[in-house]
Amino acid sequence: MPTWIACKRDGGELDDGALRTIVDGASRGVIPDYQISALLMAIVWRGLSPRELATWLDAMVASGDRLRLDRIPGIKVDKHSTGGVGDKISLCLAPLVAACDVPVPMMSGRSLGHTGGTLDKLESIPGFRTALEPREFERVLAKAGLVLAGQSARLAPADRLLYALRDATATVESIPLIASSILAKKIAEGADALVMDVKVGCGAFLPERGRARALARTIVDLGGRAGLRVIALLTAMDQPIGRAVGNACELREAIEVLRGDGPADTRALTVRLGAEMLVLGGRVPDRRNGATLIEAAIASGAGLERLRKCVALQGGDLRVIDDPSRLPQAPRVKIIRARTSGWLARLDAGLLGRGTTILGAGRLRKEDLVNPGVGIELDRKVGDRVERGDPLATVRFADDARWSAARPLLEPAFVVGPKRVPVHPTSLVLETIS
């Protein structure tokens, strides 16, 4: 192992046998963590060649089980986001795509840093189970047309171990390691195709557009070599998506979209990503036709019905789908108000995400418990006119100490200026990479 670490440290390439031995040894615990950590840091600095990365990905998938979903007809299409603030799109997107007869096996994650996690939002529903064994994962997908679950213990176990080390050793933000981590889970879950939503801006995991583009291109190319058809979209994450930032409140907003309401930007991005998924699933020839089908699934209530079926199969309380007011709400409320009159010129998603995490919507440490009822409801967004004293956001929290800690981040996130900043929901999609 020291020889391989030195090779990568000095800019060399590792052969396929070495890479497979390393991933296998990491997953079985026979290579010490300190040696794996040293190699990960060398990869951060030196990268992996296309051949190395393809072998690394294959070894990660081979470290555990791989679901075979051949018994479920159709092209199975998943969607993954690099993480954003207020990004509840998966919650309304998956049911809508399923309602258009494209199966959606969606293996999601939890909150990461200041970005929210789909599993945490789903677990706002009392009784909803995100930990499914492979047979149950397949059963729910077959009956509902979608499944919303977490990574099981036997799917890509090397990824889980390597990610824990990356998180502890400041080696998370490596494009080859990010790409292989995402794709290992998607391939292992049995997906045939993937729509990748790569966020760009102050609230994104990779804020710089160049880095985000490089990640998108790597995922598209690497997925293609592994037999997974991928299309990637770069989408704006300078202000939160929609008006809700939290767990239960974001689920409420997703239900609103499925009912035909909800903020224009949440709906627009849902329709666009859904259209891309329908194209990859062979359901429609182009995005325009795809968007028409997604809009029809909203109007008819078919998407909402698919969510209801999925929640029932995964043990959740269906009453919250029909009456979202049953979802948790923190008891205390503060209003952030405009200090001057003008136009809301900036709404810093990064500050809002970090502030909401401090309130308890995310985790400062892995062992932290998430409070599903805390969060922020935005009363204004960029481009809106405000008068001095107008409410900018309603903050729900559970204890004063957390509000005191979050307030210095939340209040400066709202910047009022003298001129209106024009905003259109369709401007959320910055680039498409295929």
Cα torsion 217, 219, 220, 222: sign = positive
Phi-psi bin for 11: left (phi > 0), alpha (psi -120 to 50), beta? Answer: left
Active site residue 181: yes
- Find the catalytic residue in 76, 185, 354, 402: 185
- Which residue among 81, 90, 111, 181 is the active-site one? 181
Q: Which residues fall within 8 angstroms of residue 335, CB to CB, at 6 or more apart?
A: 391, 393, 394, 395
Please tell me which residue in 8, 79, 80, 121 is annotated as part of the active site: 80
Instruction: State yes or no: is 80 an active-site residue.
Output: yes
C-alpha separations of 126 from 24, 108, 192, 320, 372 in Å: 38, 18, 31, 9, 11
Catalytic residue among 78, 159, 197, 379: 159
Q: Cα dihedral sign for 289, 321, 123, 157?
A: negative
Dihedral angle, C-alpha 71, 73, 75, 77, nearest 10 °: -80
Q: Which of 114, 166, 243, 380 is catalytic?
A: 166
Known catalytic residues? 80, 159, 166, 181, 185
